[in-house]
Amino acid sequence: MFGEHVTVAPFVDGQYSYSGSAEPLATFAIHPGAHALHYASSVFEGMKAHRQVDGSVAIFRLDDHVRRLQNSTAQLCLPVPEFDVARQMIVDAVSANLDVVPDSPGSLYVRPVVFGTFANVGAAATPSQTGLFYVLNCPVGDYFAGGIRPLTVVVETESPRTTPQFGMVKSGANYAMALKTTLEAKETHGADQILFAPGGTITETGASNFFLVDDERVITPALSSEFLHGVTRSSLVALANDLGYAVEERVLDVDELKTWAASGEAFLSGTAAIAAPVGTFIHGGETITLGDGQPGPNTLRLRQALVEMQIGKSEDIHGWRVTVS
């Protein structure tokens, strides 16, 4: 389901025009020749607003998501929304949909979108001169509705998840590249996700960043242009430091993953799943079980720390929560 209100700003004559308030959710009419339909000039963001323990609602890491949206639009040569305008549109959209924000572990998913509307099918080498920026809201439940469970992940060493130079751009085209490979892994192995490790070097899954953790260390691939710079990833790195783990952001390969599985834990991070434990890897026909195959205590500890930060149960020492009610 969707919230009943949306904020919208068309880009015309060199600027975004935002009315200053949310409007009723309605269907958009776009020209069949719109740039986004032909040349994939479309980007989006994904964040959440959480019902706090005191009953208010706060958006988690709003400013970081706005900055990433700006980076994505710039990388795809779309008109970049001004920071203050984008921020206000997100706040206004959430404020207009407060009546559908569920209690924890549910939340309000916030989806800003920018796409090119310029009608010209001969513009493959030309950026869209017009566009549309809007913010959609969806109430969502717990990602693990039946309780947290370990995931099965296939390790793919031949194909990259997406085009390397745009891996850090949050664009639908990037996700589409991983879809067929992921569906094949689900059908063949009953897998939940694919961990892309082209040439043996681990990057990310189809929709999540990747972590190893044990009682002392948290290890995650160092950021590069080849994969998404997850805000949840950044949050977990900061919280791991707060909790006293030695955090390593570096090159991580499949051979180390296999060795780690004997005694350590692994998890995926993302806006939806927060920190999703991995129980089994499948690589080259080999099944690799991590420990007893169940969610590990360090994964659950980090996940709980992030949840408590999101819902206002712990002190906001990093300034991540933006209260809207």
Contact (Cβ atoms closer than 8 angstroms) between residue 131 and residue 13: no
Q: With respect to residue 320, please indicate whether it lies within any of the assigned structural domains.
A: no
Structure tokens at 215: 């009682």
Q: With respect to residue 315, please indicate whether it lies within any of the assigned structural domains.
A: no
Q: With respect to residue 319, please indicate whether it lies within any of the assigned structural domains.
A: no
- Cα-Cα-Cα-Cα torsion 196, 288, 271, 206, nearest 10 degrees, comes to 20
Cα(223)–Cα(221) distance, integer angstroms = 6
CA distances from 241 to 2, 184, 217 (A): 36, 37, 10
**Last-in-domain residue among 100, 119, 140:** 140
Q: With respect to residue 206, please indicate whether it lies within any of the assigned structural domains.
A: yes
Please write the tens of the pLDDT for every residue from 223-265.
999 899 999 999 999 999 999 999 999 999 999 999 999 999 9
CA distances from 166 to 144, 182, 229, 250 (A): 30, 19, 11, 20
Structure tokens at 178: 């991983």
Domain count, the chain: 2
The answer to which of 80-89, 172-181, 268-277, 304-313 has the lowest mean pLDDT is 172-181
**Last-in-domain residue among 115, 140, 165:** 140
Contact (Cβ atoms closer than 8 angstroms) between residue 51 and residue 311: yes
Judge whether residue 311 has pLDDT over 80: yes
Residue 279 sits in the same domain as residue 229: yes
Residue 136 sits in the same domain as residue 241: no
Structure tokens at 324: 């809207």
Whether the model pTM is above 0.85: yes
According to the model, what pLDDT value does residue 146 have? 76
Task: Domain of residue 107: give its range.
Answer: 5-140
Please write the tens of the pLDDT for every residue from 18-56.
999 999 999 999 999 999 999 999 999 999 999 999 999
Cα(322)–Cα(84) distance, integer angstroms = 14
Residue 201 sits in the same domain as residue 291: yes
According to the model, what pLDDT value does residue 292 have? 93
Residue 244 sits in the same domain as residue 99: no
Angle between helices 231-242 and 297-310 (to 10 degrees): 110
**Last-in-domain residue among 120, 140, 160:** 140
Contact (Cβ atoms closer than 8 angstroms) between residue 236 and residue 270: no
Residue 211 sits in the same domain as residue 119: no
CATH number at residue 218: 3.20.10.10
Residue 109 sits in the same domain as residue 15: yes
